[in-house]
Structures are given as structure tokens and as C-alpha cells.
Amino acid sequence: MKNYLSLLLTFIVSIPCFTQVEFESKDGLISSAAYNTKIAKDFNYLILGDNSPQQGISATLNEKKSNIKINGLFYSGPTGVFTIEADLAASNGIYFFDQENGSEQGKITLNYYRRLTSLSKYKSLNPKNRAYINLQIVDLLAKTKTKYDNLLALLKTVKFNDAVRVSSDEEKRIYKQLRSITRNYINEDDKKGYDELPTTKFVSANYVKSTMANDNGGNQKGKDGIKDIKIDNKNNFDLIKLIKDYDETRDFILTKLEDSINKIELQNTSKQWTYNHTLFYGVSPFYERQSFKRFTYNANQSFSDMFNQVKGDIYGVTLSLNYSIEKGLANKKKLSPHSLFTRLSLSLIRGSNISNFRNSTLETSGVFGNDVNGNPVIFTNSDNAFIGDTRYEYGFGQRFTLDTYFYPLDLPIGLFGIISYEKIDFSSRSSAKDKEMYPLRLGLLFSLVNKDSKKPNITIQTFLDRTDLNLSPNGKDKDLRFGLGIGLPINF
């Protein structure tokens, strides 16, 4: 067992004794428990943080169709992260269901993300900083052990119905936990770790009641047939205060002591990391409601009767593999990429041929009569609707998508790109033709940061959009648009 550092602890605050504790050599910048805490925090921030690719609220607005997305958190813990996303689009306002005009698409998605692996690169600590971290750990362990020792000793002087309050099993469990933590963070050899932790005695007067009333023995009468309780408190301790402090110290040792040690490690090494890599997967089932007003010409109907509301139910699941790189504070290279996020996803869906319909303004005119000069008085009736040559039908669809978000410098300006391949196969009995599309979106990200907190208040996307690379951006297709998206870093 190699020892790379031997610390002589001198007069730890509130512990007036001298001792020597040896630290066992550990691989890595921090303990494995502290590293697990770090990557869990990084993973949650990647999914839900201020600069995540999907902001808490985002909106895309244009003349023909508006879109708004809202993200919310269900659960975040060791088993992963659950979120819910609402994606609402409309040509006339924002609705999930609309019985009047326009087209609507309301989509609800449940997202589950789980980390596969993480890799972090770092700069090693110098011996002085390493010793400072170890000193804080020993100080915390020594004070915690001292406090528990003394509270236990005081509480053992009090008898409840001729028995002490703390069972031997509980006492063994607490000391077992203390020894286990000491072995993990100081030395596996008790004689060089736990047994060398300094200790001292509390002043028992801190728990003596100020009143001179003598609680030296006595009966506390019970109610409703409960037996009387006999308390032997010969030192006149304030039992409420004593028991409360004991319970808090016991619970701290069992549930929070190791977390507090990990916090010491992470706070003192936050500036040592150069890069953080995270690989995780996602599973996202979704349901989408499609609704639009359709116009079908029929010479035997009035103009108003040629419109009908079409509604459809789309559902499926998206599987994704995600990779992220984040630059750490220790990386001082100006040309090193600040952050990169890329995702490869596969969606299996019950799709529709809604893309075969186009939104148009339809007009009809009629003559009321003539004016005094004999000129006809004409009225015009117009309405917006979608027209198409086929029926609205369902098919089996697949979608492969690669999207990437990249911040090349430590500036709130980034690049992003999304390219997909979509195919929907319809039944041979269907009038709809199988469809293949290659959507593309390229753009810039601008994060407007708060000058005080340096956190983004709003993220703006400017982008070039193509619905299908098979179409021409010029001529009759005119498949080229420029858009603007706005994201607010709000997560519920």
C-alpha cells in the first residue's frame, strides 16, 4: 500500500489535539463517488440547462404558420431524466384543438434520457492543493465523529423506563458508517485513518436546563390508557434539545456526510477540468393531432359546403443516441471548441400525407344587382383552406435525423444544422403515393446574456430552411425560406 502524502494535522479548529493521519494513494482527481455526483449534475444541466439545444420555451413565427414548444421536467435522478414536451403549430393562432379555421398540429412527447458513459479530462492538483483538500476532509470527519461521540455519551446517561434511548444496533450502524467513509477517503488501514482521527469532549453544560427544577427521576403520566413513562434524567439535561441534536447528527452521518465530502472535492477541483464528454441515449414516444380545413370542389354544392374539417391521429417513438463535449475551466486554449452537441435519431411513426396539401386563399364572387347608373354591385367571399388531389391517408413512416449544435469559441454565438431523411410507405390500395423527403435547416445561434449573471436571457435562432432537398429552391418549387426562432431558457 503506497502512501504519497502524510499530513501532520495541527490544531484543527475546535479540536485541541495533535495527531498524524496518513492518506492512501488514490487514482484520479477526485473520488469515484464525487465523480458520479459531478457527471450526474453535468448530465442534468446538458438536458435542462440554459444552453441545452431544446430551451424551456421556444417559438417560431411566420405569416403562414406559427409554432411554439414548451418543455417541462417530470423527474431527474439516478435512473435518468424524464421530460415532457408540447409542440403546437397553427396557421391561425396557437391551438391544440380548433373547431374553426386554419390548420393545427398539437404534439405531445414524453422523453426519457439515460447516460451511457462519461469521460472527463483534467489537470492534476499540486501537492499543496491536494493537502488542503485532505485537511478539510479530515476536519469534517473529526468534527462529525466528535459530535456523535459526545451526544451519544450524554444521551446514555438518561434512562427511559430503565433503558437507554439508543439501541446497540443503531450505535454499531453509525460507527460502521463512519469507519467505512474514513476507509474510502483517508486510508483503508484503520490505524492510519479512523483510529487517528482527533476527538475531544463537549461541555455537557450546553445541554443543562437553565431552570433549577430537578428532573432527577419522575413519572410522565400517559393518556388514554398509555402506560406512564419513567425518565431518569439525573443531570437535568434539556432532553428536547439533546435528542434533536443527536437525531440530526445520526441522520447526517447516514445520509449526508459522504455528500458533504464530495462537495469539498468538487468545489476545490472545479477549475481543474479541461474537457467533459458525455454519451447518452433517449427514448421518446409521442402523439400528434393533425387538423386542417380542406377545400374540395363540387359543382353540386354551395361554396361554403365545399369546406370540411379533416382530423388525424399520428403516433410513434423516437430513439436517439446523443454525444456532448463541453470545454472545462482549466482549458485555456483560445481556439479549442467551447461546446459541441450532436444527435442521431430514428423515428418510427404512423404518418400521413398531410404534406401533399397546400394552404391557399379561395374566393368566390356574386352580383347583388345594379346601382343607379347601371353598374353591377359585386360581393366577394374568401376563405383559407388546404387543397390537394388525394384523400388524407395514413402510412408507415421512418425518419433518420442528424442534428448538431456547435459553439466554436467562448462566445454566445454558435452554429447548428439539422438534416433528415423521411419516408412514408402507403398501402397498395391507397390513392396516396409513397413519399421521400430530405428536410434541411442550417442556422446561427445567438445567446443574449445577462451582464451580471453571464447566463443567457434569450436564445435567437436565424436559419435557412428547406422542406425537401429534392425540390428546387428556385422556379416553381421555391423551396427556400429564411426564419427566426426565439428560445427562453425557462424549465418548469
pLDDT of residue 22: 78
Q: Give the tens place of pLDDT for each residue, 109-164.
A: 999 999 999 999 999 999 899 999 999 999 999 999 999 999 999 999 988 887 88
Q: Which residue has the higher pLDDT, 457 or 204?
A: 204
pLDDT of residue 214: 45
> Ranked by mean pLDDT, which of 29-33, 136-140, 488-492 comes out on top?
136-140
Q: Give the tens place of pLDDT for each residue, 169-195.
A: 999 999 999 999 999 998 888 878 888
The position carrying cell 466554436 is: 408
How many C-beta atoms surround the C-beta of residue 292 within 10 A? Answer: 22
- The answer, yes or no, to whether residue 210 has pLDDT greater than 70, is no
Q: Which residue has the higher pLDDT, 342 or 193?
A: 342
- Please state, for a pLDDT cut of 70, what percent of the chain lies above it: 79
- Choice among 27-31, 44-48, 177-181, 231-235 with the minimum mean pLDDT: 44-48
- The answer, yes or no, to whether residue 268 has pLDDT greater than 80, is yes
End-to-end CA distance of the chain: 50
pLDDT of residue 225: 47
Give span(s): CATH 2.40.160.40, the chain: 51-121+275-356+388-488
Could you say which architecture CATH assigns to the domain 51-121+275-356+388-488? Answer: Beta Barrel (2.40)
Q: Give the tens place of pLDDT for each residue, 90-121.
A: 654 444 344 444 446 788 899 999 999 999 99
- The answer, yes or no, to whether residue 79 has pLDDT greater than 70, is yes
pLDDT of residue 40: 85
Q: CA–CA separation, 30 vs 457, rounded Å? A: 33
pLDDT of residue 230: 83
Q: Which residue has the higher pLDDT, 6 or 443?
A: 443
> Which of 438, 428, 427 shows the shortest CA–CA distance to 352?
427
Bridge partners, 461 (sequence order): 445, 485
Average pLDDT, rounded, for the chain: 79
What is the rounded average pLDDT of the residues 273-283? 94
Model confidence, pTM: 0.74
CA 182, 184, 190, 192 dihedral sign is negative
Q: Give the tens place of pLDDT for each residue, 45-74.
A: 777 765 555 544 555 554 455 667 777 778
Q: Which residue has the higher pLDDT, 12 or 299?
A: 299
Q: Give the tens place of pLDDT for each residue, 362-407.
A: 777 767 777 677 777 777 766 667 777 777 888 899 999 999 999 9
Q: CA–CA separation, 174 vs 324, rounded Å? A: 41
Q: CA–CA separation, 197 vs 28, rounded Å? A: 24
Q: CA–CA separation, 444 vs 214, rounded Å? A: 77
At 213, the pLDDT band (50, 70, 90 cuts) reads: very low
What is the rounded average pLDDT of the residues 315-321? 96
